[in-house]
Structure 1
Amino acid sequence: MRTAYSVETVRAAEQALMARLPEGALMQRAAAGLAAACADLLRRAGRVYGSRVVLLVGTGDNGGDALYAGARLARRGAGVVAVRAVPGRAHEGGSAALLAAGGRVVDGGESTTHQDWAGRIDLVVDAITGIGGRGGLRPDAAGLVGRYTAHGAPVVAVDLPSGVEADTGEVPGEAVRADATVTFGAYKPALLVDPAAERAGALRLVDIGLGAELPGVPDLEALQYADVAALLPVPAAESDKYRRGVVGIAAGSARYPGAAVLAVSGALRGGAGAVRYAGPGGAAVIARHPETLVHAGRPARAGRVQAWVVGPGLGDGTDAVAAVSDILATDVPVLVDADGLRLLDAEVVRARTAPTVLTPHAGEAAALLGARREEVEAGRLAAVRELAARFGATVLLKGSTTLIATDTPHTPVRVNPTGTGWLATAGSGDVLSGLTGSLLAAGLAPLDAASAGAYLHGLAARRAADGSPLAALDVADAIPAAWRDVRA
């Protein structure tokens, strides 16, 4: 599992560790890891000896890490120049080390000092602000970044790209766009959450010995194959379809019968023993999936289930209102998606005794919060936490970074690491709802069901797309292969 910690937590861990180490030892560990990562990149592009490296350094320890790393590269034959973002100010020890190794230290305004390097820089190292930066890059710093990255040299960010907000993943102004980020001790939330995460590039974590100093509960966590495999239900020898769980699907309408088919398609592949459909789309569902148990009336009369999914393609008429009301009144876990989200009352959801899972995209989340879609997309982490707290529910916020939060205190927000841009296609969310609802019916806790559902859904989409466009049913059809990948 990949975990991320807030700046406050990381700094406290660093202070505790530094109290037991010789002065400067922690920075040297970071510099050694950064230099090794930079050398790897330079070797892939050619060689370290004779390469040209520009360090863009601020005034703090982040700049010190880069300067000491630059000294290591200079001793291996690289040409290294450090450009100070603030004239005359940079980490003194790091600057002295770089000069002693044969490198140079100049101010950002001295643009003619290495004019002959224009277009021939092999690597740019961004160490302007680090984890303490706030509010985006200042104009002078942004201009400096633009000048040295204009010719396409790869950019390595130190700890995280300058200009992004470390704890939230927000990008409030100009920020560096890195090809790779070398971070120290622990991942920071911005490295896992968009819009900041998409500026970080490939991630490399350097172990500087913080592990024992970090608390047991992180701020964020991202499941990996082994974590998801441990969650997936496996039928026992004595299992039958009812013991494995029955998931109810209330989806589709005369206008959107396809939503019913897509939600059922996801549910059939999610681990439950049977799928019970209630709604007007029964004929379309049976035509595609004859194994489905179909009921044409209200969900309250459909029969016993272990979890319900309500909302995809439901519309907003009286039948839709009745379906949502019926299902929220049950004593089993309920997943609400799409049209069902528009019919929610926060007080009704909070009063439920059984768990509720909400699966909005950014636009639906904005409507629930009374905000603008752009605000949700810019502050995804804050939005998912606020929704979970407001509704007393587990919330899966879909998007370029899918986040899952619960209203339970001291529980990390989960970040889904799988997926592809091709998932932005009509009906893919309906498949996810059915899949996740099936995992709920099979007995998974809401946070685990949502996390495993998102993981399998994203992995299935990658397999189905394989670099080309896909349709929502392609994702559903690829879920068994994704399941086998994870279990293997």
Structure 2
Amino acid sequence: MRTAYSVETVRAAERDLMARLPEGALMRRAAAGLAAVCAELLGRGRGRVYGSRVVLLVGSGDNGGDALYAGARLARRGAGVTAVLLAPERAHAAGLAALRRAGGRTVEITGPDTGTGPDTAVGTGAEAGTVAALAAVRRADLVVDGIVGIGGTGGLRPAAVPLAEAAERSGAAVVAVDLPSGVDADTGEVRGTALRADLTVTFGTHKPGLLVDPAREYAGSVRLVGIGLDLPAEPELEALQHADVARLLPVPGAESDKYRRGVVGIAAGSARYPGAAVLAVAGALRGGAGAVRYAGPAGRDVIARFPETLVSDRGPKHAGRVQAWVVGPGAGDDAGPVAEVLAADVPVLIDADGLRLADASAVRARSAPTLLTPHAGEAAALLGVEREEVEAGRLAAARELAGRYGATVLLKGSTTLVAGPKDGDGTAVRVNPTGTSWLATAGSGDVLSGLAGSLLAAGLPARDAGSAAAYLHGLAGRRAADGAPVGAHDVAEAIPGAWRDVLRG
């Protein structure tokens, strides 16, 4: 399992460790890891470190110190290293001295836009420094982003923006130190211009912003370098991996029958949207429950495709016993089935039209677990905000929804998040790492709902059911698409293969 911790937690762990180490040892430890990754990257691109051209974009904090020490190591191996100092008067003194001793050169940029010097400092010298810095970036084989560390807020300051843009256009590999400059480490938000990296080397632990969009897409690949931090048992964010999901998936025993394995009810579809019912049933049949009951107006369509389904047209109350319900996909405007399902004393998953039709007070009053599965637009409607606000602050939106409804929330999207109703009290939010953009296709969410509902019926808690379903759904999407367009039915068909992949590790 990958875990991520807040800036405050990381800072506290760093202080504790630095108190036990010689001065500067922790920074040099981080820089050694950074330099090793940079050397590996240069070796793949140029075949060697010697003779390569490396540019360090150096801000005023410890992040810049990490870059300077790493640059010194690369310079000693024969790389030509240029440090662009965006705040020369506040550059890390020991790191700068180490770089110069190793033969590295510096270019200084001064002025109010960099946060240094009086307004009158902008002039010929500053302009010459910027020109020289841009020229160095354009010629570079590798650019190291050490502008802003994990304590930064907001986007890049104006003087850094041309350098970030030049780095992205240069063709050089861009490596971010700890996280890309301009993104929020704790929330994954990007408020302004940020630097896009090909690879991010992060120290001690992942930061939430490296796992959550929109910041995640700025990070590129992420390499974790251990530096010996002693972190608490409960992280801020966690991402499951194959072994974690394998431990969650239900496996029938020798005494299992279809009822002991769990029965999931599907209240979905309508005369206008019968396909939603078919796709939700498809996901449910592949989700580990022993049987699927369908209650709704699309029974003929469901039976035609899946004759093993137990079909009723008398509504959820009369469908028979189930261990969990899925309600809402393609339901149209009929709120009756949603109300019936919410009154049942079993776990309930609410999706699509069900989110709009469900009475919020009835959701909050439930004693059995509830799992809401909105996409960003549906989440925005539930919160009374614009969709763009949810997409910009996905972590905050998932937590707010979970707290407001007293439910577990699976917020679908470029990064799917699963937040429990008690996440504000220390339970980590889960982020799913397996998705693919090809899953942005009609009906894909219906398959996910059926899959998660089946896991609920098999006995998984809502948080685990949502997390495991999102993981398998993402893997199935990758398998089905294989780099080409894919339909929701194809995703459902690929779930058993994804399931086997997880169990086989």
TM-score normalised by the chain length of structure 1: 0.98
Where does residue 241 of structure 2 map in the other structure? 224
The answer for the alignment partner of 1:68 in structure 2 is 69
1:112 Cα offset (Å): 4.5
Structure 2 residue 312 is the aligned partner of structure 1 residue 312: no
Amino acid at match of 1:4: A
Pick aligned residue for 1:361 from 375, 380, 404:
375
Superposition map of 1:8-407 within 5 A: 8-46=8-46, 47-108=48-109, 109=126, 110-113=129-132, 117=136, 119-210=138-229, 213-316=230-333, 320-407=334-421
Report the equivalent of 2:123. none
Of 442, 445, 452, 1:436 maps to 452
Deviation of 1:345 after TM superposition, in Å, equals 2.2
Percent identity over the alignment is: 75
Unaligned runs of 5+ in 1: none
| Kept in 1: contact 2:134–2:163 (CA 8 A) | no
Pair 180,252 (structure 1): closer, same or farther in 2 beyond 3 Å = same
Match of 2:461 in 1: 445
Deviations 1:246-289 (A, max 9, x none): 00000000000000000000000000000000000000000000
TM-superposed deviation, 1:85: 1.3
- 1:72 and 1:291 mapped to 2: Cα distance? 65
User: Which secondary structure state, in structure 2, belongs to the residue aligned with residue 183 of structure 1?
Assistant: strand
Aligned-pair CA distance for 1:119: 3.8
Q: Report the 3-state secondary structure (helix = DSSP H, G, I; strand = E; otherwise coil) of the residue aligned with 2:90.
A: coil
Give the alignment's Cα RMSD to 1 decimal.
1.0
**Structure 1 CA distance, aligned partners of 2:134 and 2:193?**
25
Structure 2 unaligned spans of 5+: 110-125
Which amino acid counterpart does residue 90 of structure 2 have in structure 1?
R
The one-letter code of the counterpart of 2:41 is L
Distance of 2:385 and 2:166 partners within structure 1: 37
Displacement of 1:183: 0.4
- In the superposition, relative to structure 1, how do residues 401 and 96 fare at CA in structure 2: closer, same or farther (>3 Å)? same
Structure-2 residue corresponding to 1:464: 480
Which residue does the alignment assign to 1:413? Answer: 429
Q: Is the 8 A contact 2:168 2:196 kept in 1?
A: no
Judge conservation of contact 2:56–2:71 (CA < 8 Å) in 1. Answer: yes
Provide closer, same or farther for how the CA distance between residues 299 and 166 of structure 1 changes in structure 2, counting only shifts above 3 A: same
Distance 1:61 1:291 in 2: 62
TM-score calculated relative to the size of structure 2: 0.94
Contact 1:88 1:107 in 2 (8 A): no
- Partner deviation per Cα, 1:15-44 (whole Å, 9 max, x = no partner): 001111111110010000000000000000
2:25 is matched by which residue type in structure 1? A
Displacement of 1:114 in angstroms is: 6.4
Superposed displacement of residue 149, structure 1: 3.7
**Does the 8 Å contact 2:107/2:133 carry over to 1?**
no
Deviations 1:394-439 (A, max 9, x none): 0000000000000122110000000110000000000000000000
One-letter amino acid matched to 1:200: A
Alignment deviations for residues 307-344 of structure 1 (CA, whole Å, 9 cap, x no partner):
0000000001xxx2110010000000000000000012
State the shift of 1:154 in Å: 1.3
Relative to structure 1, the CA distance from residue 116 to residue 437 in structure 2 (aligned partners, 3 Å threshold; closer, same or farther) is closer
**Which SS does the other structure have where 1:135 is aligned?**
coil
Deviation at 1:377, TM superposition (A): 0.2
Q: Which amino acid aligns with 2:390?
A: V
Give the paired residue count. Answer: 483
Q: Give 1:463's aligned amino acid.
A: R
Aligned partner of residue 432 in structure 1, secondary structure: helix
Query: 3-state SS of the aligned residue for 1:419?
Result: coil
Distance 1:483 1:204 in 2: 27
Counterpart Cα distance in 2 of 1:112 and 1:185: 36
Which SS does the other structure have where 1:130 is aligned? coil
